[in-house]
Structure 1
Amino acid sequence: MIRHAADQLADYRLHLVLIHGGGSYAHPFVTRSGVGGGLRDRSQLRSISETEFYLGQLTRIIYASLLLRNMNPVPLHPMSFATLDKGEVKKFLLDPIRKSLDAGLTPLLHGDLVFDESRGIGVLSGDRIASLIGSKMGAFRVLFGCDVDGVYSANPKNFPNATLIPEVNSENFRSVLSASRSPSTDATGSMGEKVKQAIWLAKNGCECYIFNLREKNALRMILDQTGSIGTRFVPWKKSRKSVKQSPQRA
C-alpha cells in the first residue's frame, strides 16, 4: 500500500501534508499497556519507548518510499510539538509544518503518543491531527485513506449486506456518525474517529473524503478531482477557496 500511494503522489505539484497511522507498528503496544488512558506506573515506560521506536521505523519506510520517487519529505514527530490535557489537545505548534511547506518540503507526520498535563501521556490520533491541521491551516480538502471503500451503513467486514454511503451532508450526518460507531480494537477509534473528524471539518467548510487507499488510482483521482470515490463529506459552510484559487494546501 505504501508504494502504491507513493506512486500516486510522485508528480503531484500542490502542497501536501502527509499523515500516517501507527497500525500494527504501534497499536499493540498502546493497547496492551493502556498508555492511551494515561501514565499510571513505571511498568508502562517500556511500552512508550517501544511505541516511539516502531513508529519511527514505519515513518522511515514511508520516508524512503517518497525519497525514491524524488519527493522531498521531512518527518515531524507530534510528541515534540503537541500536548494534551485530559485527553484534549492543549497545544499544537504549527510553525514546523508551515515552515516546511514554505520551503517546498512535504511534512510527514503520524499519530503519536504525546504528553498529557493531567494524565501524563495520551494518544493523539492521525485523524485528529489531520482535522487540526486542516482547520487551522485552511486546507480546502482533507483525505482519510483506509482499507474499505468508504463509510458504510454498518461495518462491511462483519455485515456483508452493508451499503456504501456516497455522501455525508448536514441532513444525514447524525445517522452516519451513529452507524460508524461500531466496537473497535483500534487504539485510536478506527472508522468512527475518521467520521467524527471529517464531520467536524465539513461543518467548518472543508471538503473531506474517506476512501479505500488500496483501490487503484483512487488517491490520485480525488487529488485531481477526476472521479467520485469513497464517501464525500460536503462542506456545511461556504466552501474554502478552490484549488485554482489557492494552490497552497491539499
Structure 2
Amino acid sequence: MTESILVKLGGSVVTDKSGECKVDEARLAAIADELASRPDVRFVVVHGAGSCGHPEAKRHHLDKGLNQNNKAGIFITHNAVRNLNDAVIKALRARGVEAVGIHPLDACIANNGRLISFESGPVELLMQHGIVPVLHGDVVMDRKRGACIVSGDQLIAALPSRIRIDRIGLATDVAGVLSDGDVVPVITPETADILDIRQSDNTDVTGGMKGKISELLALAEEGTESAIFHISRLGDFLDGRDHGGTVVKGSHKQN
C-alpha cells in the first residue's frame, strides 16, 4: 500500500521570522528535492505562516476576532499567507512535484478559535491522484468571533480523522522539543506538564511550541503519533530512520 505522509514545515523553516515576509528560497528548494526524490509516497504538506502572516494578523488584531475596524485584515493576512503558499508550490513544481494550494479560508469554518468544519474531500482526492495538496496557517471565518487564526498545527490535528495519514512529521529550525538545551526524545500527556516549553521570541499569534505540543498530544490520544525534528533531518524521517528529534505519543496506559 502506498504510504501517506503529512509533512508540516514550520514558519521558521520557510521564512525568516525576524523579518517581514522574507521567504527562504534555498531551503524550499532543498525540501522540494527531498519530496521529489520519493515519487512513490503520497504527501500532504502543511506550512506555517512565519513572517508572512503573523505580523499582519497581529497588526489587525485578528487573534482577538473581527470587528468593524479590522475587516481589511482578513484580506491583508490571507494575501500574505497565500503569497507564501505560492512560493512553496513554485519550489515544489520546479522540482517536478505536482502540487496545488488549498486555502483554509475557503475550506474551513471555526467556532471560538477551533475548527468545526473542514472540507477535506479535495485534499484526499488530490493525494489519491498523486498530487500534493499544500495547506497553510490562515485566517478563517469564525461563528463566534467573526474571524480567527487557524494554525498549521490545528490543521494537522484535524486531518487524520478525515483522511488516511500513515505518518506525521514536523520539520522545524530546532532539533526537536528542548528541555535545558537537550532534545526530549518522547513526550506523553504525563510528561508534558513538567517540561519548560518556551514561547518563540518572534511574533506568533498561534501559541508557538506550547500550542504545537497541545495539538499533537490531542492527536496522540486519538492514536496518531507525530515526530518533531530539525529540517536537515527531513530525509531521515521520510525514510523511517532515526531523526534525532522528539516523538509525541499518547498516554502510557494506551501503549
Calculate the TM-score normalised by the size of structure 1: 0.84
What 5-or-longer segments of structure 1 have no aligned partner? 154-160, 240-250
1:37-56 equivalences in 2 (<5 Å) = 37-41=64-68, 43-56=69-82
Deviation at 1:20, TM superposition (A): 0.7
Residues 55-92 of structure 1: per-residue CA shift (max 9 Å, x gap): 12111111111001111111111111100111121111
Q: Is the 8 A contact 1:127 1:144 kept in 2?
A: no
* SS of structure 2 residue aligned to 1:229: coil
Compare 164-173 and 7-16 and name the one that shifted more: 164-173
C-alpha deviation, 1:4, in angstroms: 1.9
Assess if the C-alpha contact under 8 Å between 1:19 and 1:109 holds in 2: yes
1:183/1:101 CA distance change after superposition, 3 Å:
closer
Partner of 1:172: 191
- 1:170 shift after superposition: 5.1
Shift of 1:196: 1.1
The aligned residue for residue 79 of structure 1 is 105
Matched, 1:143 2:143: no
Which residue pairs with 1:23 in the alignment? 50
Does structure 1 residue 133 correspond to structure 2 residue 159?
A: yes
2:248 counterpart (217, 220, 233) = 233
How far off its partner does 1:105 sit?
A: 0.8
> Is 1:208 aligned with 2:226?
yes
Q: Tell whether the 8 Å contact from 2:234 to 2:243 is kept in structure 1 after alignment.
A: no
SS at match of 1:108: strand
Partner of residue 8, structure 1: 34
For 2:77 and 2:156, how far apart are their aligned partners in 1? 20
Q: Hey, what does 2:60 align to over in structure 1?
A: 33
**Aligned match of 1:244:** none
Q: SS where residue 42 of structure 2 aligns?
A: coil
In structure 1, give the amino acid aligned to 2:115.
V
Q: Which residue of 2 aligns with 1:104?
A: 130
The structure where strand makes up a greater share of residues is: 2
5+ unaligned residues in a row in structure 2: which ranges?
A: 1-26
What letter matches 1:15 in structure 2? R
In structure 2, distance between residues paired with 1:57 and 1:150: 28
TM-score, normalized by length of structure 2?
0.82
Query: Which ranges of 4 or more aligned residues in structure 1 deviate by more than 4 Å?
Result: 235-239
**What's the Cα RMSD here?**
1.9
Question: How many residues are aligned here?
Answer: 226
Report the alpha carbon displacement of residue 111 of structure 1 after superposing the two structures with TM.
0.6
Given that 2:199 and 2:208 are in contact with CA atoms closer than 8 Å, whether structure 1 keeps it comes out as no
Letter in 2 for 1:209: A
Amino acid at match of 1:210: I
Q: CA contact under 8 A between 2:93 and 2:99: conserved in structure 1? A: yes
- Report the identity percentage: 29
Q: What residue identity is the alignment partner of 1:205?
A: G
SS at match of 1:149: coil
Distance 1:169 1:75, change over 3 A: same
Among candidates 179, 190, 199, match of residue 208 of structure 2: 190
